[in-house]
């Protein structure tokens, strides 16, 4: 039997990723939704993307695969990969 808590719901993952993005962008308010792309958010450059990835890995206790990183086009893509990594821990 696993001691891990159940994985968060997709909406909770997306909300946490949005909050992490705001932190990475130095608490800039981020109006983001599932379809939000880097080019939609001022300051979300490649450096911020790396920082978001690291922050998400730490926050969720996961490690993304290279194949995950290659498909990170939207916040929904990052949330889906996060849910997959969380499910893989079980």
Q: How confident is the model at residue 1 (pLDDT cuts 50, 70, 90)?
A: very low
In whole numbers, what is the pLDDT of the chain averaged over residues? 90
Q: Output the pTM of the full model.
A: 0.87
Q: Is residue 66 part of a domain?
A: yes
Domain contains 3: no
pLDDT band at 5 (very low <50, low <70, confident <90, very high): low
Name the residue range of residue 82's domain.
10-25+37-88
Question: How many structural domains compose the chain?
Answer: 1
Residue 74 tokens, joined: 């939207």
Query: Residue 47 falls within a domain, yes or no?
Result: yes
3-state secondary structure 12-51: HHHHHHHHHHHHHCCCCCCCCCCCCEHHHCCCCCHHHHHH
């Amino acid at each position: 039997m696993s001691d891990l808590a159940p994985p968060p719901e997709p909406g909770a993952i997306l909300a946490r990723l949005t909050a992490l993005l705001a932190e990475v962008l130095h608490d800039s308010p981020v109006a983001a939704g599932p379809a939000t792309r880097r080019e939609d958010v001022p300051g979300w450059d490649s450096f911020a993307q790396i920082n978001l990835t690291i922050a998400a890995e730490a926050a969720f206790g996961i490690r993304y695969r290279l194949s995950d990183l290659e498909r990170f086009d939207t916040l929904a893509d990052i949330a889906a990969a996060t849910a997959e990594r969380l499910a893989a821990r079980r």
